[in-house]
Structure 1
Amino acid sequence: MEKHVIIVASAIIFCLATVPVYGQYYSETVTPPHRPEKMTRLHFFFHDILSGSNPGAVPIALPNTTNPGLYLTLVAMDDPLTVGPDQTLTRIGNAQGLYVWTGKDPTQFGAVLYTDFAFTSGKFNGSSFSLFSRFPITEIARAKEEVVEMAIVGGRGAFRMARGYALTRGTYVNQFNGDAGLEFNVTLYHY
């Protein structure tokens, strides 16, 4: 019987000694071998379509206010990316995500976007990068040549761990139905 007590006591001590090791939220920090960072530049066009029978962007939450307007409207999107400014040109992917209309002052109207730009053809098929940034719509509508910078905050596939920026310029805006087109010049730094 004494032998069983020693075995049980030893097992309990062993279990108590190993719990803290397995209970940590990390294993170790290592310095990865030198991997040269890559830079990729992309040029494409984005089409945000709110109108028609098959829109790419749809409001999914409206503000509970008596003030009419788009302010604080949340929109989900699955919009096409093309090689040129016309929607009928070769489709290279989709921009999927959310944006919310911001800016109480109509002269400062804009949106905050979280969008995943996923490529479905060509060299970067299956890869994507993520953008999270403010987009000042009234500035684009006022000056078609206005360029806006937005932040790239991540990526997957060929763009794993991407960071960088997107320079965008409006190619068309329909103030009546909300449809818009943007030209994207993107610079990505990734591994």
Structure 2
Amino acid sequence: MERAIIFTCILLLTTYTTPAQSKYYGRSSTYKPAKLKKTHLHFFLHDVLSVAKPTAVRIAGPRDLLAFGSVYAIDDVLTEGPEVVGNARGMYMSSSQGKNLTLVMRVDLGFTAGKFTGSSLSVLSRNPVTESRRELAVVGGGLEWLKGLFL
């Protein structure tokens, strides 16, 4: 009996609420996105397959160079004009059975010199090699590079 009374008292105390009056104070402001600055990057990736010290090595697929299904690991040099500005490390796979060579690339671009030193870009994209102008999807980047985009 005593337990029932204690239990009832605890139940009543925990369910009893005291109304409180308060005001919500807050300032409303309109969201203003940061002003973006456009940056054009133009550099060359040097992929060397057939020398004593290649920068791209076939790790899977048919024996034919860049045949459909060939997978390569890369550690290439990036240049801007004659200057070395970084490296490209990752892999690509030949993904086209037609005449036009197309690669699927997963590459990290690390900048070790120049304006973007210490920055990086991560690329995961389709690369239609035979087209003279192409764009690749950048899926990530290092903090130093992102700072450069904002004014």
Structure-2-length-normalised TM-score? 0.67
The Cα offsets for residues 98-126 of structure 1, whole Å up to 9 and x where unpaired, read as 10011122x13311111111110123111
List alignment gaps of at least 5 residues for structure 1: 1-31, 141-145, 162-187
Report how far residue 68 of structure 1 moved: 5.5
Of Structure 1 and Structure 2, the greater strand share is in: 1
| Residues 155/51 of structure 1: CA separation in 2 closer, same or farther (3 Å cut) | same
- Cα contact 2:59–2:73 (8 A) shared by 1: yes
CA distance, structure 2, for counterparts of residue 52 and residue 109 of structure 1: 22
Structure 1 runs of 4+ aligned residues shifted over 6 Å read: none
Find the counterpart in structure 1 of residue 139 from structure 2: 153
The Cα offsets for residues 108-153 of structure 1, whole Å up to 9 and x where unpaired, read as 331111111111012311111112211123x34xxxxx21122111
Find the counterpart in structure 2 of residue 79 from structure 1: 76
Structure (1 or 2) with the larger CA radius of gyration: 2
CA distance, structure 2, for counterparts of residue 44 and residue 136 of structure 1: 17
Aligned residues: 120
* Matched AA of 2:77: P
Find the counterpart in structure 1 of residue 121 from structure 2: 129
Considering Cα pairs closer than 8 Å and 6+ residues apart, tell me whether 1 or 2 has the greater RCO. 1
Report how far residue 35 of structure 1 moved: 3.9
| Residues 68/44 of structure 1: CA separation in 2 closer, same or farther (3 Å cut) | closer
Report how far residue 34 of structure 1 moved: 5.1
Report how far residue 83 of structure 1 moved: 1.9
Report how far residue 97 of structure 1 moved: 1.1
Percent identity over paired residues:
38
Residue of structure 2 aligned with 1:118, choices 97, 110, 114: 110
CA distance, structure 2, for counterparts of residue 43 and residue 94 of structure 1: 14
- Cα contact 2:35–2:150 (8 A) shared by 1: no
List alignment gaps of at least 5 residues for structure 2: 1-30
CA distance, structure 1, for counterparts of residue 58 and residue 64 of structure 2: 14
CA root-mean-square deviation: 2.7
* Matched AA of 1:80: V
| Residues 34/110 of structure 1: CA separation in 2 closer, same or farther (3 Å cut) | closer
Q: Could you say what secondary structure the match of 2:136 adopts?
A: strand
- Cα contact 2:34–2:150 (8 A) shared by 1: no
| Residues 190/49 of structure 1: CA separation in 2 closer, same or farther (3 Å cut) | farther
* Matched AA of 1:51: S
Find the counterpart in structure 2 of residue 45 from structure 1: 44
| Residues 82/37 of structure 1: CA separation in 2 closer, same or farther (3 Å cut) | same
Of Structure 1 and Structure 2, the greater helix share is in: 1
* Matched AA of 1:149: E
CA distance, structure 2, for counterparts of residue 117 and residue 190 of structure 1: 20
